[in-house]
């Protein structure tokens, strides 16, 4: 571990054989950062969360604007964070419009969500889309972290060829694009994510041997950790203990999932390993890994896909045995609308799991949530009409950098959704003149 003048650098590590744990932000790091401005408006991280198949908008958008709105059924799990969030309506994505092509709308709304750029219609290798705002951010705020960005998904299907009206399946598997021809693959395997965050490489055989011994990554760094604890104050020791517990908990949950699946944890290959049988446990495990990635500053940009478009997953454990895509075509059937609302609300409740943990995680002079902007939404407005109009969108976090906390803001219909992307980039210090069809910043956000 590197220690300078009795103070810890922001990027300090606990090291062991094949393991490197980046420490969370501690009081002991403050002297090393004393020359840096520190206030609660410092936003340094961005997280994006995509839910598929649209929604029934009256169950998502509040009926009134301003601060006195009534929380809608879909967003109810976010009620405890009302003052930390802004609900936006009226935003639309021109890059995902149908125009004369007819089908393929699921592909277009997904791919264009963070770029505002219409994807090229092809089933071959000549895919092309637009650079997404998460990657625009990663190109600047991700250069000082071990990982420029992290892409996570709860789907582990890797189909090839055409998936939606002659569009390549690649378009449905990620909405994160580093260049117009370079999609960023999304990882659904918690073990693979854990290794990216905390492993130091080595061959698959060496990593397999370590896992076979069932030794925690923390055990490998325990000697370094013992020396560190002797030099920390009481508050920092408590924080490190809580962090260690979080890492241990995540690792043990991955190991339990691997045992339950009966699959060997190495090599990491298709079919994926370490994925819990329970969708609920899988989601919470992946969100906890994202929390650790942000907390330890391994990355400052995360793109998370709750599920791909056209996903037909049923949700019997919440009372919806029918597939998600099927009930999204509600045709004003009250039963299907209610079922779709249950699925949408469930997805939001999983997102709220992360928001709560981030608000309860100290980070310098505020919480992790204060220093992070999270965008939750979908690329399709009303699920029955299949149009990228009046998109559901919620921005959470950001501390005092967000002026409109606690509000529902309704913009004129067809205001470019990319104006929101441009605004989020601006708030983390990424200056751009334009994203897609953007016309300017949302100055009241």
Domains defined for the chain, CATH in brackets: 1-38+194-274 (no CATH), 45-188+280-445 (3.40.720.10)
| CA angle at 431 for the pair 425 and 434, rounded to the nearest 5° | 80
Q: What angle do CA 429, 431, 433 make, to 5 degrees?
A: 160
DSSP label at residue 13: E
Strand partners, 187: 152
Compute the CA torsion angle 337, 340, 345, 346 (nearest 10 deg): 150
**What is the distance between the alpha carbons of residues 193 and 208, in angstroms, rounded to a whole number?**
15
Mean pLDDT, residues 158-175 taken together: 78
Of 93, 91, 92, 86, nearest to 409 by C-alpha is: 86
Q: Which helix (H) or strand (E) holds 335?
A: helix 334-359
What pLDDT band is residue 277 in, cutting at 50, 70 and 90? confident
pLDDT computed for residue 161 by the predictor: 54
Digit-coded pLDDT (tens) for 57-95:
999 999 999 999 999 999 999 999 999 999 999 999 998
CA 219 to chain CA mean position, Å: 29
What does the pLDDT look like over 323-375, one tens digit per residue? 999 999 999 999 999 999 999 999 999 999 999 999 999 888 899 999 999 99
Total residues belonging to the chain: 445
Tens of pLDDT, residues 401-419: 899 999 999 999 999 999 9
Q: pTM of the entire structure?
A: 0.80
């Amino acid at each position: 571990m590197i220690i300078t003048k009795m103070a810890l650098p922001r990027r300090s590590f606990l090291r062991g054989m094949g393991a490197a744990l980046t420490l969370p932000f501690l009081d002991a790091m403050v002297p090393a950062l004393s020359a840096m401005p520190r206030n609660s408006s410092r936003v340094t991280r961005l997280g994006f969360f995509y839910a598929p198949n649209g929604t029934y908008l009256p169950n998502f958008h509040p009926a009134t604007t301003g601060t006195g709105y009534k929380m809608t059924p879909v967003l109810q799990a976010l009620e405890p964070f009302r003052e930390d969030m802004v609900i936006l309506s009226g935003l639309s994505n021109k890059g995902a419009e149908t125009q004369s092509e007819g089908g393929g709308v699921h592909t277009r709304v997904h791919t264009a969500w963070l770029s505002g750029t219409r994807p090229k219609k092809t089933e071959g290798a000549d895919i092309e889309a637009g650079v997404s705002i998460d990657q625009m951010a990663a190109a600047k705020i991700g250069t000082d972290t071990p990982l420029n960005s992290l892409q996570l998904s709860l789907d582990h299907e890797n189909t090839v060829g055409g998936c939606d009206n002659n569009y390549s399946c690649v378009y449905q598997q990620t909405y994160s694009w580093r260049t117009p021809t370079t999609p960023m693959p999304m990882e659904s395997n918690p073990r693979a994510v854990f290794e990216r965050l905390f492993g130091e490489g080595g061959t698959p055989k060496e990593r397999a041997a370590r896992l076979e011994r069932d030794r925690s990554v923390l055990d490998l760094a325990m000697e370094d950790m013992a020396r560190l604890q002797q030099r920390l104050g009481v508050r920092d020791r408590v924080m490190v203990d809580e962090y260690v517990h979080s890492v241990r908990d995540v690792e043990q949950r991955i190991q339990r999932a691997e045992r339950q699946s009966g699959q060997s944890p190495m090599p990491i290959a298709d079919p994926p390993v370490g994925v819990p049988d329970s969708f609920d446990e899988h989601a919470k495990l992946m969100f906890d890994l994202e929390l650790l990635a942000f907390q330890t500053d391994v990355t400052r940009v995360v793109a998370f896909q709750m599920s791909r478009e056209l996903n037909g997953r049923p949700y019997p454990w919440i009372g919806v045995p029918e597939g998600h895509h099927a009930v999204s075509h509600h045709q004003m059937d009250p039963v299907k609308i209610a079922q779709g609302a249950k699925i949408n609300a469930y997805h939001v409740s999983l997102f709220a799991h992360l928001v709560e943990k981030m608000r309860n995680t100290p980070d310098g002079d505020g919480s992790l949530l204060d220093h992070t902007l999270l965008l939750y939404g979908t690329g399709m407005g009303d699920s029955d009409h299949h149009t990228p109009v009046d998109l559901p969108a919620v921005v959470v976090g950001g501390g005092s950098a967000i002026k409109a906390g606690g509000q529902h803001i309704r913009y004129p219909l067809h205001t470019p959704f990319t104006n929101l992307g441009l605004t989020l980039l601006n708030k983390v210090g990424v200056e751009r003149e334009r994203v897609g069809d953007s016309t300017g910043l949302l100055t009241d956000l």
